[in-house]
């Protein structure tokens, strides 16, 4: 077996519980119940193993990670393992005291999700009152001296507000605003028709972002959509190449959307992270280029985009080993163009909240 480079980043989905009900959520439609979640000790062990493996950066995410009462101990575990941690949160439940405990445990940064540029539009997406709590959370993070990142998932219902969203992020003191066009996995896939933007919306929003880049020091990250331009994204930087995801119940995935794939997912309750990364069949399945079919196999871009996204290939063709239909060279490309031409309908909110 060829030597495998270590992972650089880890997404720790501490819980699937969440106070919000966003229809674009990439969590699986079958959410992990709180009773199945890893214990504090298990998370601390996973983080120690991740540090030994070479992981340098962990996103502490969910769901809503603040629902874990032991979050401070988990942050301390990341800090002891020498891993830079970023808390990815809705901001609901963040208090001055909680943030002080987290920073004392070594938390160096926070990313706050925002669903819209004003309360009415944001709460229509989030499925509950939340905008004022987010504004308060942003102020707390700034007051604590932590770098604030804002994450906005974009879709048909908020793309026209990109200008206002950037203004909001700057006003709230964000050093970085991630404008991420919806990727259609989990709940997002179930709501795809209702969330798909139009080409005109995307083109306009991208122009707005370019104009802002010329006049702000805030870093603006534009995560491209892949249903529209005939190119496949280099998903995850390649399968099992740079990052891994640990699910609330300890399953380990090569990407956060791989729940849906027909893979035998290894679990940290049974295997070390080192074995999982370097030897488990799930991480070997699409690593490198040997698995590729034509047209990828003989394509000059195969080391650049890695044949696109396995989850998207599976969602659209039923075979995760096919070329991503987002690529114009794929024999299945018509599946994407047909879908992109037919946006419409209403979304349903994500269900399941932790009681
Ligand atoms: Fe990428 Fe495969 Fe398309 Fe070539 S054929 S551009 S490798 S997805
Ligand atoms: Fe899973 Fe792209 S989202 S490989």
In this structure, which long-range contacts are made by residues 93-99, counting pairs with CB atoms below 8 Å and at least 24 apart in sequence?
93/19, 93/64, 93/66, 93/67, 94/66, 94/133, 94/136, 94/137, 94/140, 94/141, 95/140, 96/140, 96/143, 98/66, 99/140, 99/141, 99/144, 99/146
How far from 219 is each of 107, 140, 169, 175, CA to CA, in Å?
21, 21, 10, 6
| Residue owning the nearest CA to atom 2 of ligand 2 | 309
- Residue 327 is labelled as binding a ligand: no
| Residue owning the nearest CA to atom 1 of ligand 1 | 307
- In this predicted structure, the answer to whether residue 355 has a pLDDT above a threshold of 50 is no
Q: Average pLDDT in the 150-155 region?
A: 96
- In this predicted structure, the answer to whether residue 184 has a pLDDT above a threshold of 50 is yes
- Residue 309 is labelled as binding a ligand: no
Nearest to 333 by CA among 292, 286, 295: 295
For residues 228 and 200, give the distance between their C-alpha atoms in angstroms, rounded to a whole number. 11
For residues 80 and 83, give the distance between their C-alpha atoms in angstroms, rounded to a whole number. 8
Atom of ligand 1 nearest to the CA of 305: 1
Gap from CA of 331 to ligand 2 centroid (Å): 19
- Residue 255 is labelled as binding a ligand: no
Percent of the chain with pLDDT over 70: 98
Report helix, strand or coil for 170: helix
ipTM above 0.90, yes or no: yes
With cut-offs at 50, 70 and 90, classify the pLDDT of residue 138. very high
The lowest-confidence range among 44-58, 158-172, 225-239 is 225-239
186 φ/ψ sector (left φ>0, alpha ψ -120 to 50, else beta):
left
Map 242-284 to HEC letters.
CEEEECCCCEEECCCCHHHCCCCCCECCCCCHHHHHHHCHHHH
Comparison of pLDDT for 166 and 229, the residue scoring more: 166
For residues 30 and 33, give the distance between their C-alpha atoms in angstroms, rounded to a whole number. 9
- In this predicted structure, the answer to whether residue 101 has a pLDDT above a threshold of 50 is yes
| Residue owning the nearest CA to atom 3 of ligand 1 | 327
With cut-offs at 50, 70 and 90, classify the pLDDT of residue 344. confident
Q: Average pLDDT in the 287-309 region?
A: 95
Which ligand neighbours the alpha carbon of 257 most closely? 2
Atom of ligand 1 nearest to the CA of 326: 8
Q: Which pLDDT belongs to residue 354?
A: 44
Percent of the chain with pLDDT over 90: 86
Q: Which pLDDT belongs to residue 2?
A: 67
Pocket test for ligand 2, best of 27, 238, 252, 258 (most atoms within 8 A of CB): 258
Pocket of ligand 2 (CB under 6 A): 185, 235-236, 255, 257-258, 309-311
For residues 165 and 179, give the distance between their C-alpha atoms in angstroms, rounded to a whole number. 9
Pocket of ligand 1 (CB under 6 A): 232, 295-296, 299, 301-302, 305, 307-308, 323-324, 327, 329
Nearest to 305 by CA among 216, 237, 203, 225: 237
Q: Average pLDDT in the 243-271 region?
A: 96
Comparison of pLDDT for 32 and 150, the residue scoring more: 150
- In this predicted structure, the answer to whether residue 353 has a pLDDT above a threshold of 70 is no
- In this predicted structure, the answer to whether residue 352 has a pLDDT above a threshold of 80 is no
Pocket test for ligand 1, best of 226, 233, 303, 307 (most atoms within 8 A of CB): 307
Considering Cα of 93, then 99, then 105, then 109, what sign does the dihedral take? positive
Comparison of pLDDT for 186 and 73, the residue scoring more: 73
- In this prediction the pTM is 0.94
How many residues belong to the chain? 355
- In this predicted structure, the answer to whether residue 1 has a pLDDT above a threshold of 70 is no
């Amino acid at each position: 077996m060829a030597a495998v480079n270590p992972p650089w980043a880890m997404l720790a989905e501490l819980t699937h519980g969440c106070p919000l009900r966003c229809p674009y959520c990439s969590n699986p439609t079958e959410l992990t119940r709180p009773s199945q979640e890893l214990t504090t000790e298990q998370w601390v062990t996973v983080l120690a193993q991740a540090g030994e493996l070479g992981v340098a950066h962990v996103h502490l995410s969910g769901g809503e990670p603040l629902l874990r009462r032991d979050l401070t101990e988990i942050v301390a575990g990341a800090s002891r393992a020498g891993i830079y941690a970023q808390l990815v949160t809705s901001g609901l439940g963040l208090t001055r005291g909680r943030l002080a405990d987290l920073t004392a445990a070594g938390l160096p940064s926070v990313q706050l999700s925002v669903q819209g540029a004003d309360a009415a539009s944001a709460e229509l997406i989030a499925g509950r009152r939340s905008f004022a709590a987010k504004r308060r959370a942003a102020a707390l993070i700034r007051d604590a001296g932590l770098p604030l990142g804002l994450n906005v998932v974009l879709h048909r219902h908020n793309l026209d507000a990109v200008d206002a969203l950037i203004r909001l992020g700057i006003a709230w003191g964000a050093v970085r605003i991630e404008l991420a066009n919806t990727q259609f996995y989990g709940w997002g896939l179930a709501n795809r028709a209702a969330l798909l933007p139009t080409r005109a919306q995307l083109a306009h929003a991208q122009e707005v972002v370019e104009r802002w880049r010329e006049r702000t020091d805030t870093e603006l990250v534009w995560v491209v959509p892949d249903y529209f331009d005939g190119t496949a994204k280099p998903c995850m930087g390649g399968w099992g190449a740079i990052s891994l995801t640990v699910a609330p119940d300890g399953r380990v995935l090569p990407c956060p959307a791989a729940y849906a794939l027909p893979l035998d997912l290894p679990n940290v309750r049974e295997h070390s992270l080192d074995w999982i990364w370097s030897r488990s069949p799930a991480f070997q399945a699409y690593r490198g280029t040997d698995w590729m079919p034509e047209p990828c196999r003989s394509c000059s871009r195969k080391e650049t985009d890695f044949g696109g996204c396995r989850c998207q290939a599976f969602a659209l063709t039923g075979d995760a080993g096919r070329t991503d239909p987002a690529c114009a060279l794929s024999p299945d490309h018509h599946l994407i163009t047909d879908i992109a031409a037919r946006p419409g309908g209403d979304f349903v909110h994500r269900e399941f909240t932790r009681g």
